[in-house]
Structure 1
Amino acid sequence: MTSLILPTASLSTTSQSPISSSSSRIQHTLTQRIHIPAHIYKHPAAILLELCTSLQELHQIIPLIIKNGLYQEHLFQTKLVSLFCKYNSLTEATRVFEPIEDKNDALYHTMLKGYAQNSSISDGFSFFCRMLEDGVQPVVYNITYLLKGCGENNYVREGKEVHAQVILNGHEGDVYVMTCVVNMYAKCRLVGDAYKVFVRLPERDFVCWNTIIAGYAQNGFAGRAIELVAQMLSEGLRPDPVTVISILPAVGNVGDLRVGKAIHGYVFKSGYERHGNVATALVDMYLKCGCLSTGRVIFDKMSSKNVVSWNIMIDGYAQNGDYAEALSLFEKMLDNGFKPTGVTVMAALHACADSGELTRGQFVHSLVNELGLKHDVSVMNSLISMYCKCKRVDLAAEIFKNMKEKTLVSWNAMILGYAQNGQIINALNHFRLMKVKNIDPDSFTMVSIIAAVTEFSVLRQAKQSGSTGSSQELVWIQTSL
């Protein structure tokens, strides 16, 4: 009879699960090999699992598995855990996993992948520790998933512990794994540690070089990133499009037009300009350096524009003070059938706010609801700022009042809006309300309040209104400051 062979073995250990408080006798597989008969892996239920495309379909297949007595088979248990994780139902995956007495390595690996993809990195790391305690050795993809999660969530301590496991498991010579370690440290803003790992690698490929260059560039070390590109060239490796895309934003951020033009020359000679992402990065660099005309020429020549390239153009013109052209580009983007994102809307609102274009600002506001962005706090903050700068503080206040989630930026925008429009008492009242709600002001908040008190005579306003309440507000804010 034909059969599949999976690597397994049994070893009994006692462990305390970091995820569950109950301790149990864990059986898992290490070296012994078992055979899965053909009637198991060729069963219609197994085929249905392979064809399953949704959580709803999976729920319909499970009764068939149970009815045919297949639920205790490792093949089905592993597949069920995998599919529940795939469809973001980690709770159901755990319900399948926990009762299994003879857990094999594949189950642990599948479950860890689920935690890494669908849960908090702390839960994933806790399960990783449980695996180690149960004697299950992690495989490469376990480690890379965790390293990625630690980097994206700035989990330095956990990232270092995973790095230690990389060393203990003899993966220091694996360029792919070590590149993930470099990336983790760079994402955690520990570029020095990232570089230490990088220089110790016995060999470095393009991905590894691009990772360390991007790490320095994204952490604000543009000069060092450029030096690494030069070092890369000296070692006989020509920067590829990914390298170029990594370095150009850093050049734009420091406004080094000379270096930017040199990179553009290299891009032209290498034929990389036809790569859409490279062209977009060039446009971004030139706009950040204030060269609108050069950026526009590259943009107009792009054969395939996308939302990102349009966003860069609109925001670039707005940041450089050409609000009319920024709004014109926004309208052209709509005319060309592109759906604006939150980034697009905020760039357009910035242009409307600084140019006092209330009518256009209200049009953009109407798009916010159509685009489903009314719960995007950053977009709503931009709307508040736009209405305040266009002298419609009443509309800004209405938006602020209806926001379910307010950030410090929301409060700052409203306070500054009141202050800039001469409504000092409202500005002070909102400042006091912040304190009542235990929202700590930042330097921007204090500058807004000080500017308001300096620019307008609250004492005169209190005297003219004959209100002692206004005088009390002034006394209160003076003591607070």
Structure 2
Amino acid sequence: MLHPMLQTNVLPDAHLFVALLHACAVDGSLFQGKQLHVQIKEQASRFDTFVGNALIDMYAKCGDLDTGLRVFLSSSNRDLVSWNSMIGGYAHHGFNDKALSLFYDMQLENIQPSRVTFVSALKACAKIEFRDEGRLVHAQAIEEGFDTGVIFGSALTNFYAKCGKISDACCVLEKQPNRHIGIWNALVAGCTQNGDGEKALQVFEKMRHDGYMPNEVTYVCALKACTGLASFDDGRRIHMLIIDNKMEKNSFVESSLIDMYSASGSLDDARKIFDGISSCDAITWSAIVTGYAQHGRGEEALLLFEQMQAEGVESDLFTLVNALKACTCLVALDVGELIHGLAVENGFETDLCLCSMLIDFYSKCGSLDDAAATFNHLPKHNIVTWSAMIGAFSLHGNIQAALGYFESMKQHGVKPDDIVFVSLLSTCAQMGLLKEGKQLFEAMIKEFGLTPTGEHYNCMVDLLGRVGCFGEAELLMEFSPAESSFVGWLTLLSHCKAHSRVTMGRKCFDRVTALDSGHASAYVLMSEIYEAAGMHEEAEIIRKMRDTGQVWKKPGQASVEINKKSHAFIVGDKSHFQIVDILAKLDVLNCSIIGTGHVPHAASVHSCGL
């Protein structure tokens, strides 16, 4: 109805404009809503607050809150409906502080809140930092007699649950004369979103025990609780309940089941559900693409993503981020550039999360210029984007550029986090920059008050071992967290080989095997240390220890994208259809490397089996 009306010369009246704006609000049709706004401006003298409120509501529900606020502020006859639309819009889209600010402003202008207003205000308070404001809103609602009804009860229950006050949320539920399904759902959802999945499942069971039939919202929240708890037996049990109640074909339930099975690693079960859907929407496509991407099955994730595009399903931000994650793992430059283009088309080009992924993607593909261009295009930066840029240059060994971004970040008032220091310290370790590494490690603790994690200690151990400072490295290992000990001692063992440190090497070997006797690399390194020192009998003993324990090293694997096709290579595997050409090219590259004066250190190279 909307499109033909806009193509004619018929002048809609106020009631028709309101109906059309409402349709745009429900469908999220911002573009068509803006077209209507143009017509309304042309006939402004014919309309009143009724149309203005519908316009504000349309912008608020479509998420264009800046334009909605301009319309709101330009209105000379703001009434309760106007205020409710703006407060509800801000609360719905997560601008909680702005919603609460308007809630207080309306009362300063002598506009009394309604039950709808209190519901929106409670929604805005449903975060732990706004818990005190929420209690005041609740008290005011009681004072003004708006603390009854299913909608208010649901909002109040949800508020207390999301703020971590589960006992208060349960009290609200217990006091309800009519425990409507919406209030039960609010409690289950609130517990889930607050990270208390165990309580969410308890409420779910109590609800069923008390004779209330769960609906699709209840099942979605319960499945999310199972996913968060990694309680996949409960997830399968709930799946059976869903089938018994004939709700397995609901799109939200289907996508939640796919999420749950994907999180458990049961991708075959997730795919079975997906393949059984006759018409997949964006939510289910996103769930299956994300599942494959997050479990390292990048090729399948990208095949599904390309199929999704071929079927004309619009990708949301979350899907693009996860598809990009798959591209990063596969170094699939062409597909990643396509995703970047889709992000620009859909208006996501300034999203900080996506752009940090793009920076990481381009750097992993070796395109630092594109990574820098993505960073520079952003109107603002946060710790994640700064960290991505520092990580990009650190990955490629450009410590000066990485430190330059580090200094610039500090000048912009952004405090570095532990991830930034991991990037910088790992680069210092790779390049043997002892002075710079020590300065960064000290600054991390003293200047920025950060407690080093196992990763930071391992970077420093790697650095100290690389430059031959084994005494300092061993001392540092005594202070490192227990969970990082294995990696630290194994790293130090590898440097003992490079520096021909037999005694220290044996000490590291004993520490590594005490923590994990089944790690093949330790046996390989220790036997090679003994061999290099001419201690052949000791080397043979280590090899026999490995054989007795049946400890064997898994072959390495790498992949590369060429002409939009991913090629995987496994050490020792000669099955690739172009293996002869590949080996010939490797010979040419080796000759070129030697021709530049590089002398291979054969003792540090293990046979690749080719």
Aligned to 1:85: 56
**C-alpha separation in 1, matches of 2:414 and 2:244:** 54
**C-alpha separation in 1, matches of 2:407 and 2:234:** 49
Unaligned runs of 5+ in 1: 1-46, 66-75, 99-106, 460-470
Aligned to 1:468: none
Matches within 5 A, 1:254-269: 254-269=229-244
Q: Which of 336, 344, 353 is the aligned partner of 1:369?
A: 344
Matches within 5 A, 1:148-163: 148-151=123-126, 155-163=130-138
Is 1:50 the equivalent of 2:50?
no
Is 1:480 the equivalent of 2:458?
no
Deviations 1:214-265 (A, max 9, x none): 1111111111111111111111112221110111112112221111110111
**C-alpha separation in 1, matches of 2:75 and 2:349:** 39
Aligned to 1:181: 156
Greater shift after overlay, 371-380 or 144-153? 144-153
Aligned to 2:45: 63
Checking the alignment, whether the CA contact within 8 Å between 2:157 and 2:186 is kept in structure 1 is: yes
SS in 2 for 1:352: helix
**C-alpha separation in 1, matches of 2:347 and 2:206:** 47
In the superposition, relative to structure 1, how do residues 48 and 125 fare at CA in structure 2: closer, same or farther (>3 Å)? same
SS in 2 for 1:271: coil
Aligned to 1:225: 200
Query: Structure 2 counterpart of 1:290, which letter?
Result: G
**C-alpha separation in 1, matches of 2:55 and 2:346:** 31
SS in 1 for 2:262: helix
Q: Which of 83, 89, 106 is the aligned partner of 1:112?
A: 83
Checking the alignment, whether the CA contact within 8 Å between 1:115 and 1:121 is kept in structure 2 is: yes
Is 1:438 the equivalent of 2:413?
yes
Aligned to 2:140: 165
Is 1:216 the equivalent of 2:191?
yes
Checking the alignment, whether the CA contact within 8 Å between 1:428 and 1:477 is kept in structure 2 is: no
Q: Which of 305, 320, 327 is the aligned partner of 1:345?
A: 320
Deviations 1:377-401 (A, max 9, x none): 2222111111122233332123223
Task: Tell me the percent identity.
Answer: 28
Given the two structures, how large is their TM-score scaled by the length of structure 1?
0.76
**C-alpha separation in 1, matches of 2:307 and 2:229:** 30
Greater shift after overlay, 56-65 or 345-354? 56-65
Query: Structure 2 counterpart of 1:124, which letter?
Result: L
Deviations 1:84-130 (A, max 9, x none): 634655556556547xxxxxxxx642243244146621332223432
Checking the alignment, whether the CA contact within 8 Å between 1:252 and 1:260 is kept in structure 2 is: yes
Query: Structure 2 counterpart of 1:122, which letter?
Result: L
In the superposition, relative to structure 1, how do residues 406 and 96 fare at CA in structure 2: closer, same or farther (>3 Å)? closer
Shift of 1:475: 7.7
Checking the alignment, whether the CA contact within 8 Å between 2:409 and 2:415 is kept in structure 1 is: yes
SS in 1 for 2:348: coil
Aligned to 1:24: none
Is 1:126 the equivalent of 2:104?
yes
Query: Structure 2 counterpart of 1:480, which letter?
Result: A
SS in 1 for 2:13: helix
**C-alpha separation in 1, matches of 2:71 and 2:313:** 39
SS in 1 for 2:104: helix
In the superposition, relative to structure 1, how do residues 236 and 340 fare at CA in structure 2: closer, same or farther (>3 Å)? same
**C-alpha separation in 2, matches of 1:391 and 1:269:** 52
Q: Which of 274, 277, 297 is the aligned partner of 2:249?
A: 274
Matches within 5 A, 1:90-101: 90=69, 93-94=72-73, 97=76
Checking the alignment, whether the CA contact within 8 Å between 1:49 and 1:58 is kept in structure 2 is: no
In the superposition, relative to structure 1, how do residues 396 and 231 fare at CA in structure 2: closer, same or farther (>3 Å)? same
Query: Structure 2 counterpart of 1:63, which letter?
Result: S
Given the two structures, how large is their TM-score scaled by the length of structure 2?
0.61
Query: Structure 2 counterpart of 1:182, which letter?
Result: T
Q: Which has the higher contact order (CA 8 A, sep 6+)?
A: 1
Aligned to 1:407: 382
Checking the alignment, whether the CA contact within 8 Å between 2:88 and 2:117 is kept in structure 1 is: no
In the superposition, relative to structure 1, how do residues 91 and 426 fare at CA in structure 2: closer, same or farther (>3 Å)? closer
Shift of 1:339: 2.0
- Let me know the Cα RMSD of the aligned residues: 2.7
Query: Structure 1 counterpart of 2:276, which letter?
Result: K
Shift of 1:430: 1.3
In the superposition, relative to structure 1, how do residues 310 and 154 fare at CA in structure 2: closer, same or farther (>3 Å)? farther
**C-alpha separation in 2, matches of 1:260 and 1:475:** 48
Query: Structure 2 counterpart of 1:246, which letter?
Result: C
Is 1:335 the equivalent of 2:306?
no
**C-alpha separation in 1, matches of 2:334 and 2:50:** 56
Is 1:205 the equivalent of 2:161?
no
Q: Which of 202, 221, 228 is the aligned partner of 1:246?
A: 221
Checking the alignment, whether the CA contact within 8 Å between 2:259 and 2:291 is kept in structure 1 is: yes
SS in 2 for 1:155: helix
Is 1:458 the equivalent of 2:423?
no
Equivalenced residue count is 401
